[in-house]
Amino acid sequence: MTPSQIYVLVAILFLALVFISIKNSKPKRLSVLASIAFGLIVAGIVFGENRSISYSLLAVGIILSAVDAYLKSKNNG
């Protein structure tokens, strides 16, 4: 597996975990932080030809989504 495939796999697994965790709750709108993270991940996929930019955008998007999940769990618990 190439590094880009690993990053995409990690992002997909993380998003799957998030969707599974919110499956039992009421549908909610995306927070601002989650929206930015989603946009960065999509931008990282779109700019796949330039690896340094692509990996940077994917990494920042994943970190922001993890921070958003942490803040939401901290507020709920």
Give the Cα-Cα-Cα angle 61, 67, 72 (nearest 5 degrees): 125
58 three-state secondary structure = helix
3 three-state secondary structure = helix
CA distance 40 to 32: 12
Confidence of residue 27 (pLDDT cuts 50, 70, 90): low
**Full-model pTM:** 0.61
pLDDT tens digits, 33-67: 999 999 999 999 988 888 899 999 999 999 999 99
Closest CA to 45 of 10, 53, 76, 14: 53
